[in-house]
Amino acid sequence: MSWTGPMARGVLAVLSRLWLAAVLFAAWEVVARIIRESYFPPPSEIVAAMHELWFSGPAGRLFLTDRALDDFGHSLYNLFGGWVLACLAGMAVGIALGLSRTLADYVEPMVHFGRAIPPPTLLSFYIAAFQLGTPMQVATIVSGVVWPVLLNTVDGVRTVDRLHLESAEVFGVRGVRRLLWVVIPAASPKIVAGVRISLGIALILMVLSELVGSTAGIGSLLIGAQRSFDLPQMWAGIVLLGLLGYLFNAVFVTVEKRALRWHLNARGAS
């Protein structure tokens, strides 16, 4: 492979951004082996625990173990289920509030009241309302994720260029067609920004919801490892969550750049 091609340049660019992480992990390994503190195991032990827990399965299953399928399947189902529901609800309500000042005058005080309540404080209510299990966990995620999507959608709809709306009116584009062809595309950069922020919050709330009474998922593994003082396993869960957050953000940024290429090109031209 030529090291002047686009793929090679991309690989080198990624490696050039990861050198600091490699240095930090190497320093962590050295310091952890010197101080020998059980609460801070070296990265090599954490990687070994991750391999044993999740990545020592057969090659036909991409080396995923049965535990990995249970943990990842349960956690990611709750994560993306709650995230998608929150995004749909947030965008629908946000568009309505952004288009109608009268409706916003009545609803926005309740919105600001609701978003000020920390989602962890609602756990007891959700346990009483839904019992332990997936509905409680999804409700916890939705209650914290919906707000950045809703508020960004309201702001995006309200800041649509008046010239675009007037041009649509001149050409007879009204009602639902104006919403779909003018308002939503113009507001989409801010809506997507809210959706991106909400994904990180969803990951946090996924873990939080699984710390209470759950028998499956990454959060359940974390609390189980803590109670049994299996520190390498606990740190394996923490590192896995960091890797998932990085992966989700990287994939989202890639999709965002492709979906909003028109917006980025227009901003660059201006």
For residue 133, give both structure tokens. 């299990």
pLDDT of res. 260 = 78
Domain coordinates in residue numbering, the chain: 1-36, 46-269
Residue 134 near residue 77, CB atoms below 8 Å: yes
Residue 6, burial from CB neighbour count under 10 angstroms (0-12, 13-18, 19+): exposed
Pick the more confident residue, 176 or 164.
176
pLDDT of res. 15 = 65
pLDDT of res. 12 = 65
pLDDT of res. 1 = 46
Report CA torsion sign: 130, 66, 56, 33: positive
Is residue 11 scored above 80 in pLDDT? no
The mean pLDDT of the chain is 85
Outline where the chain has alpha helix (H): 6-35, 43-54, 66-99, 101-115, 123-130, 134-158, 162-170, 175-178, 184-210, 218-227, 231-259, 261-269
Residue 141 near residue 208, CB atoms below 8 Å: no
Query: By percentage, how much of the chain surpasses pLDDT 70?
Result: 90
The model's confidence at residue 4, banded by pLDDT at 50, 70 and 90, is low
Q: What residues contact 33, with CB distance under 8 A and at least 6 apart?
A: 42
pLDDT of res. 9 = 63
Residue 154 near residue 137, CB atoms below 8 Å: no
Cα–Cα dist 203/209, whole Å: 10
Of residues 179, 178, 193, 200, the one with CA closest to residue 260: 193
pLDDT of res. 30 = 92
Is residue 137 scored above 50 in pLDDT? yes
pLDDT of res. 20 = 81
CATH architecture classification, 46-269 = Orthogonal Bundle (1.10)
Predicted TM-score (pTM) of this structure: 0.84
Model confidence over 197-256: pLDDT tens digits?
999 999 999 999 888 867 788 988 898 888 888 899 999 999 999 999 989 998 888 888
The model's confidence at residue 5, banded by pLDDT at 50, 70 and 90, is low
Count how many Cα atoms sit within 13 Å of the Cα of residue 52 in the half-sphere of its side chain.
9
Is residue 269 scored above 80 in pLDDT? no
pLDDT of res. 186 = 87
Q: What is the mean pLDDT of residues 148-156?
A: 94
Q: What is the mean pLDDT of residues 253-263?
A: 79
